[in-house]
Amino acid sequence: MTDTTAPAEPYVCPHCEATHAHEHVDERAVVLGHRRRLAVVSGLRAGLVVLTVVGVLLWLPVTAGLTLVASGVLAWALATATGLLVASLDLARQGGQGQAAGAGSRRLVTVSVLTGAALTPVAALLVALAGRALVDGIGTGAAAMVATAAGTGWLTASAAADVVRALRLRNLLGAESRAGEVARAAAVRTRDRADEWTQVATVVATAAVVALWVGLCHQLSVVVVVLVPLHVALVALSRRLLSGRPRTR
């Protein structure tokens, strides 16, 4: 008598009951992790702003320090708002040519960023001129004070915008709505390409560069002629490097 082998049990995923072998993704855990990361990064941004503002106020007289920090905020707002305005006008002009939505969005971001980059050294010059009226002297020490306060203002504005954006996304990820479902699906799809920490580093590096431009303009105004193309080139290069990073899928 011949023994018969019992048929193998069909594969059933213990998570989703699918019958084909696959890698299971715990979507709830991914979304919760994303929300926690957004909260942590937002807290880090806020902490950096508080530390730098306190440092400026300990170094400079309160009135001069706050005025220069506010000037840095206004410089960021000027560069950002003008960049968005120019990009919106450009997109409206291109709209009648049947441009694809994705290409239009990329063009909007590119034009906005590069326009803002071109205006950043000009805004730095304006802040440096204001700094000359608020801080006595045009030496290295005075330039360092003005530059630090202006960079702090730039960091404050850009970090605040990022915090607002991150907290909105965090709330959206927990919302019971169609928009919330789309946001959660995107979070799961891009779970291996999180760039929140890169964004923090980019914001800090940009604020440091702006502070350097302010310090240089504080000592020699005409240097802005060189800084405009230099800053545009730096921004374009950094965007290319970041977009070309290897991504895990």
What is the tens place of the pLDDT at every residue in 84-140? 999 888 777 776 454 555 566 778 888 889 999 999 999 999 999 999 888 876 678
Would the pLDDT of 11 be above 90? no
Indicate the pLDDT class of residue 246, thresholds 50, 70 and 90: very low
**Mean residue pLDDT across the chain:** 82
Tokens of 155: 């960091």
**Tens-place pLDDT, residues 197-209:** 888 888 999 999 9
The CB-based long-range contact list for 91-96 (8 Å cut-off, 24+ gap) reads none
pLDDT mean over 78-86: 92
Residue 33 is predicted with a pLDDT of 81
| Maximum alpha-carbon separation in the chain | 106
Nearest to 198 by CA among 238, 227, 237: 238
What tokens does 239 get? 């965007």
pLDDT for position 14: 58
CA dihedral 80, 210, 161, 81 (to 10 degrees): -10
pLDDT at 247: 44
Average pLDDT over residues 21-47: 80
The band of 226, judged by pLDDT with boundaries at 50, 70 and 90, is very high
Q: Are 180 and 173 in contact (CB under 8 A)?
A: yes
What's the confidence (pLDDT) of residue 21? Answer: 59
249 pLDDT above the threshold of 50? no
Compute the average pLDDT of residues 235-245.
78
Q: Percent of the chain, pLDDT > 70?
A: 80
Which tokens belong to 174? 């927990």
